[in-house]
């Protein structure tokens, strides 16, 4: 007969943290948000750690190279999506690994005969106000000049006029020659008091752009996650169907971590895939498994599959309908607590620590903080990152607001049958487990991560902790009633944000 667990499935919004003693040393500047990614023995440290405990979902609408570059620069990690041809995924990893901080490929380019109207539309589309003009409008075309939104007046100038009438022509542009170091480029920017330096090759073609703001950004990003060759760290999603072809190709790029991407990871297929990779590549790469929602599954992946980290979560993702479609899953908080409890038992028994990742369903910063307090070593997020400028989807205007498409890997749009199919695989895709949606654009990855990390550090100080492991050890949580949930919002006041119409 079926067994019914005593516990009700619970989610993060049902809990609050009780503050602990805060002392003088508990200040955000003293707090470390470093988190292990790979398994390690008691007394040792993980061979790869995050400086910021956030990773991106391996999803088409989330994790391309721009996202991976932006997040690694902030100390987190992206798993480049695997629901694409192997060569294409390799190219994305290549871009991250060869990313020279500071030299960026231009993604907003115009031809000289494009109109001002085109320039305005392009700026709205990419969010970038500096647009090189090349002979064919491509990012590596012959460089003819540059136009920024300071060069014209949108409501005064003739929007049908060509950009060539308004751009600064090449002869008047300060540029750098290909081969110049980043330091030299920054000195040029500083001496010439410029915001942007185009880099041209010997034939006068545009190679890349160097921005003053990136230099400032770099100085403000001491958490950057680099490998031992000073390249950005990047991960890749893989599946249990074509890993024998995919993994060797991705390893040519010296990818740092794999995450076996499956909606149900408690399977022999995960074990076979993880052991095969380990046999081929030893400990040179971190291997994560999942997703699971209970202690038995954790132990199976830890003991039998020997994975480095275990990912928790079935059916909680913002675009996920697995629970509705198949009746499997578990409230994310209950799932996470069951798995972290097993991880701690396993550590006590064996002296081996296996990091746990809470994946999906994190609807706001508070829930991220609660997940880390419940013992997640790091969190994986899709929606959170899909909303940023760096996600690989185009911006669309709906009803005057800017959105980006965000779709599940189990949606008809992604058709990632490998993530959901068991056994030999059946790519006929008979039913959906994810939806196709839109999310509002909220700014850059840096904008959102900075705010979340600031809140996290502040809460860690409230609990009296300076590291994430201390945070989880000291955390005391209370379940809340519906009434205390209401009490937690604004009450008995007229809120300028919620209750009064805003002047536009
Ligand atoms: P969220 O951060 O948007 O709430 O959830 C992202 C997570 O949902 C992913 O990391 C992945 O585990 C899961 N996911 C991705 N696609 C689907 C689907 O189509 C899904 N059902 O559940």
Give 61-85 pLDDT, tens digit per residue: 999 999 999 999 999 999 999 999 9
Bridge partners of 199, per DSSP, are 176, 208
- 27 — alpha (psi -120 to 50), left (phi > 0) or beta? beta
Q: Which atom of ligand 1 is nearest to the CA of 414?
A: 19
Q: What is the pLDDT of residue 188?
A: 95
CA of 360 to the centre of ligand 1 (A): 6
Average pLDDT estimate for 242-261: 97
**Residue 451 pLDDT > 90:** yes
Average of pLDDT values for 370-385? Answer: 98
- Work out whether the CA dihedral 63, 66, 68, 74 comes out positive or negative: negative
Structure token pair of residue 320: 């996920």
Mean pLDDT for 266-284 is 97
Bridge pairing between strands 196-200 and 206-211: antiparallel
265 lines ligand 1 (CB under 6 A): no
Name the pLDDT band for 423 (thresholds 50, 70, 90): low
| 368 close to 362: Cβ distance less than 8 angstroms | yes
Helix pair 65-73, 445-463: axis angle to 10 deg: 40
The enclosing H or E element of 35 equals strand 35-36
Nearest residue to 446 via CA among 126, 237, 219: 219
Atom of ligand 1 nearest to the CA of 381: 2
475 has pLDDT over 90: yes
The pLDDT value given to residue 504 = 41
Report the pLDDT averaged over residues 392-420.
89
State the distance from the centre of ligand 1 to the C-alpha of 290, rounded, in angstroms: 13
Residue 302 phi, psi dihedral angles, 5° rounding: -70, -50
Ligand 1 neighbour 288 (Cβ under 6 A): no
- Is the bond leading into 326 cis (omega within 30 degrees of zero)? no
**Which residue from 335, 315, 332 is spatially nearest to 433, judged by alpha carbons?**
315
Instruction: Please report the atom of ligand 1 found closest to the CA of residue 384.
Output: 2
**Which is the closest atom of ligand 1 to the Cα of 320?**
21
Mean pLDDT, residues 224-238 taken together: 92
Residues 6+ positions from 141 with CB-CB distance below 8 Å? 109, 134, 135, 205, 206
- On the question of pLDDT at 242 being above 50, the answer is yes
Predicted confidence (pLDDT) at residue 218 exceeds the cutoff of 80 = no
* pLDDT band at residue 185 under the 50/70/90 scheme: very high
Does any ligand 1 atom lie closer than 6 A to the CB of residue 410?
yes
Cα(433) to ligand 1 centroid in Å equals 10
User: pLDDT value at position 92?
Assistant: 97
Euclidean distance between CA atoms 89 and 247, whole angstroms: 11
183-207: average pLDDT: 94
Chain segment 86-112, per-residue pLDDT in tens: 999 999 999 999 877 778 888 899 999
- Cβ of 355 closer than 6 Å to ligand 1, yes or no, is no
Q: Is 322 in the pocket of ligand 1 (CB under 6 A)?
A: yes
419 is catalytic: yes
Closest by Cα among 385, 475, 292 to 52: 385
Mean pLDDT of 396-409: 93
Residue 145 alpha carbon to ligand 1 centre in Å = 43
Residue closest to 389 by CA, chosen among 10, 69, 20: 69
Q: For ligand 1, pick from 261, 262, 320 the residue to mutate: most ligand atoms within 8 Å of CB.
A: 320
Whole-number Å distance between alpha carbons of 208 and 115: 23
* CA separation for the pair 315, 361 (Å, rounded): 8
- Dihedral of the alpha carbons of 110, 111, 116, 119, in degrees to the nearest 10: -10
What does the alpha-carbon distance between residue 255 and residue 244 come to, in Å, rounded to a whole number?
Answer: 15
The one catalytic residue in 82, 196, 259, 320 is 320
Name which of 26-30, 67-71, 208-212, 247-251 the model is least confident about: 208-212
Q: Which atom of ligand 1 is nearest to the CA of 411?
A: 19
pLDDT at 503 over 60: no
Q: So what's the pLDDT on residue 489?
A: 77
User: Could you report the per-residue pLDDT of 110-153, keeping only the tens digit for each?
Assistant: 999 999 999 999 998 888 899 999 999 999 999 999 999 999 99
Predicted model pTM: 0.82
Count Cα neighbours of 455 within 13 Å in the Cβ-side half-sphere.
13
Residue whose Cα lies nearest atom 22 of ligand 1: it is 320
What is the percentage of the chain residues whose pLDDT exceeds 70? 97
pLDDT tens digits for range 10-36: 999 999 999 999 999 999 999 999 999
**pLDDT at 426 > cutoff 70:** no
Q: What is the mean pLDDT of the chain?
A: 93
Residue with tokens 């991976």: 68
Catalytic status, residue 320? yes
Q: Is the pLDDT of residue 424 over 60?
A: no
Q: How far is the CA of 198 from the centre of ligand 1 (A)?
A: 39
Separation CA 25–CA 33 (nearest Å) = 16
CB-based contact 257:288 (threshold 8 Å): yes
Q: Which residue puts its alpha carbon closest to atom 13 of ligand 1?
A: 317
**What is the average pLDDT across 288-292?**
97
Q: Helix or strand or coil: residue 55?
A: strand
Model confidence band, residue 488 (pLDDT cutoffs 50, 70, 90)? confident
């Amino acid at each position: 007969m079926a067994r019914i667990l005593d516990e009700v499935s619970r989610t993060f919004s049902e809990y609050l943290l009780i503050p602990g003693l805060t002392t003088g040393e508990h200040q955000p500047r003293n707090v470390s948000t470093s988190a292990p990614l790979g398994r390690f023995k008691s007394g040792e440290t993980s061979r790869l750690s995050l400086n910021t405990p956030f990773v991106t979902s391996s999803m088409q609408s989330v994790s391309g190279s721009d996202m991976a570059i932006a997040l690694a620069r902030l100390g987190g990690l992206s798993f480049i999506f695997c629901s694409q041809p192997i060569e294409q995924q390799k190219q994305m990893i290549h871009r991250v690994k060869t990313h020279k901080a500071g030299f960026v490929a231009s993604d907003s380019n115009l031809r000289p005969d494009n109109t001002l109207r085109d320039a305005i539309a392009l700026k709205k589309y990419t969010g970038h106000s500096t647009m090189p003009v090349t002979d064919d409008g491509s990012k590596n075309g012959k460089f003819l000049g540059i136009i920024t939104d300071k060069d014209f007046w949108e409501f005064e100038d003739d929007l049908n006029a060509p950009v060539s009438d308004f751009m600064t022509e090449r002869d008047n542009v300060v540029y750098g020659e290909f081969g110049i170091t980043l330091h030299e480029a920054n000195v040029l920017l500083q001496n010439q008091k410029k915001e942007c330096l185009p880099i041209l090759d010997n034939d006068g073609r545009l190679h890349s752009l160097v921005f003053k703001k990136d230099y400032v950004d770099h100085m403000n990003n001491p958490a950057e996650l680099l490998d031992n060759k000073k390249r950005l760290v990047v991960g890749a999603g893989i599946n249990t169907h074509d890993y024998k072809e995919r993994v060797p190709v991705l390893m040519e790029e010296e990818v740092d971590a794999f995450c076996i991407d499956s909606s149900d990871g408690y399977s022999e297929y995960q074990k076979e895939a993880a052991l095969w990779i380990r046999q081929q590549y030893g400990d040179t790469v971190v291997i994560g498994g999942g997703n699971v929602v209970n202690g038995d599954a954790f132990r199976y992946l830890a003991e039998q599959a020997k994975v480095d980290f275990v990912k928790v979560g079935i059916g909680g993702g913002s675009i996920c309908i697995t629970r509705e479609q198949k009746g499997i899953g578990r409230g994310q908080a209950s799932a996470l607590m069951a798995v972290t409890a097993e991880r701690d038992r396993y550590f006590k028994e064996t002296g081996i620590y296996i990091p746990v990742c809470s994946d999906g369903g994190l609807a706001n910063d508070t829930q991220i903080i609660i997940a880390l307090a419940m013992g997640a070593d790091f969190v994986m997020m899709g929606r959170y990152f899909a909303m940023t400028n760096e996600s690989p989807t185009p911006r669309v205007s709906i009803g005057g607001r800017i959105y980006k498409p965000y779709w599940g890997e189990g949606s008809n749009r992604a058709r990632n049958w490998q993530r959901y199919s068991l056994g030999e695989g059946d790519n006929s895709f008979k039913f959906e487990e994810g939806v196709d949606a839109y999310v509002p654009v909220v700014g850059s990855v840096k904008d959102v991560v900075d705010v979340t990390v600031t809140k996290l550090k502040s809460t860690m100080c409230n609990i009296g902790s300076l590291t994430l492991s201390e945070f989880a050890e000291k955390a005391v949580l209370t379940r809340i009633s519906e009434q205390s949930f209401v009490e937690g919002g604004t009450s008995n006041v007229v809120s300028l944000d919620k209750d009064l119409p805003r002047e536009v």
